[in-house]
Structure 1
């Protein structure tokens, strides 16, 4: 009873397998084919293996590819036209329509053959789909089906018989590719999978290539992971296959899952788009915009907080070594006490010697005082000039008035006609006209005009 159940399971499995296999399409049919060593002068070219005819598997039938004789290697390939999903291969070998057993000499010619799937014509850059290491002349089948769930453009048959290499018993002396039909079953349209090739591959599959059976991605586009590439990179990783590490982003944020950029900038001590580069020499902190102090031996301060790990150089103190030694101290970390210096000569913070050289702070103070003196001098000069101008203007007005009064006096002492006395009195009582205040010469000329008028009258 148990044996019957096992047999039933085996039959069901074979039926299902044949159903799945038959659901795929022969995507090699009538495609371009090539072989390394054609048999000259005979109609046995590489295309015979993909023409769909293999009822007569003899040389005379004209339905098989037959390569040249006495070659140490043999290569045949078919170009599918583009990268497609492949499920399995079926190979029909040349039999010359004779019984297929150890007595058939053609069986020896196929022992040790290999099949590659590649995106280029170079088999060594492709995937080894199958390599025969077990068959003998008595066991090799003349129809071989090989499951190979891969993607590729070229399917390559290869065999070799190199001199100096010891091959198993039963192998032929030379290599051949005598193929009556080479069928490649898969999906004729890229980006689909399933028995009927109607299910689209997940959108994040690399080049939209997925397993032809279950739809799992053969690789993910940048930033995604998982069997169907449905998850974004996490855990501090980004990029293709989530294989690259993020930099040090601000507040330990995760970088962009595709290109690794830190969207809100870098944390303290780091710079660059991906925040993978530490601050340049002499800088530290957020955006590397703070300057280090004077660390011991001019060493780089801590990139994050600016502290000098080995202390300060001579003349400076503090965690960041930016504070100069106070008066009376000098040396490393300001630990040394200066000798007594006069009021004019101060203790040098680096060597401890009394020096008359002013510190940079005194120099800055002197520069500020000189600037202030310059401003005050300019103000005083402007005030003085304005006072002089006012004085000069008033003096000219006074001179003009005195000339007017003098002229009136001279004219009034001369005998005048009666009707002119009224005009003289009116003229002496009138203020100077506005247009006569321009200058003394103008005033005098106007005054003379009035006096001449009076005199004439």
Structure 2
């Protein structure tokens, strides 16, 4: 029961004075929620400067200039109090305008509602009615009225559609409220009874009985009072047995299952049970499978994969709008455009650097190192600047000629060999002449040394150590791990068992985790079992968890 000192407590204007007076009087005083700083009042319309702030300024005068006033000629008039959040309300008290010459006939047949929705978006079927005035034309309602309203709500709405006949010729519904006071229960929202026990089975309940309040989100606002379960299901946009959970905003038309909140259908561009996942931006029309996210209508230009979440082999970048370098072989990485391999003669991450002019079969993509032609040296096979030392035939080896001509014009004197023509051929060669690359005799050996030259002059890496004495070519191929006609080149260490083609050094098979002709390229770390296609590098057995794309090179 409210204390008799309530008006005195309110008029003191501060919470401190309210507490002190009520404490020393020994009586419990409820707080007037309408006077809180967080409370906002609103009128349906305002007449001649009589604004809504006059209805909660603490002044209880009932004359015209102390009261709020709505416009005439309107079919409906209302005053709304927004408490900012839901409160357990005890009662509402209204002070209505009255004067000797002006009675409260416009106050007839008003009604008092509470709701979780504002007056501008709700109708009476979505509210809970606390009070209805049934005064007829011959009588007047009290101008000060205190109404019980044991409800939990955020909005308190005073509304009327009554057109008083005394206003003729003025027409329309009007309100003239001088002050409105809203008091909360001793128990906070979600509790009831003298000892403020928790509501059972619902978020809010009757402050005395503990029976559940049927929320506005219940269809027709009907529920089982003992459990709070909505009888006819939920309003659109809500789910759960008491319709207290909201459907995802990504559900089409906010429609979802009442049992688990699963969306009936997703809005465009979303997938998953609650449509919380986004289709790839590479999907045509942003349309993808509801469960898997695979693009339903294929990929937009330059995108690839089942989910259109990576770029095709010729493009890269976050929107796949950047073009891979023309020097890329087999495409480039979709994230940064680094080439998977380079065309012959180029190297670098973007294949924008040129291999040394003396490289045989191109060079390493990352270091630029290569196998050199004769007349070139160091890792990049550059011109050594031949000057015709030792046994150089100066007519065929001229230092100022361009390097590419030098390779074809260089020739040693008949009894010399080597890059600098500074090594003498074996004295066992007939006529003393030998190959410019090594000391293999150009023609026949001297007869008394034929056995020695036929066997020991061929390198150990020739099979059976047998070679052609005229050109140094190994007659029966190379030992394992070597290739080229003279078996002077090593197979890549990435070739399985170091086996490679005798003619060009291409690996027969790559060791695990490598691919490419000479197995120099590494499979993506995202490949299952580090296994990928020998030519393209695409993962053979799919991707490890959390990796994606044909090459499993993106997260």
With normalisation by structure 2, the TM-score equals 0.31
TM-score, structure 1 normalization? 0.37
Structure 1 or 2: larger helix share? 1
Higher normalized contact order (CA 8 Å, seq sep 6+, divided by chain length): 1
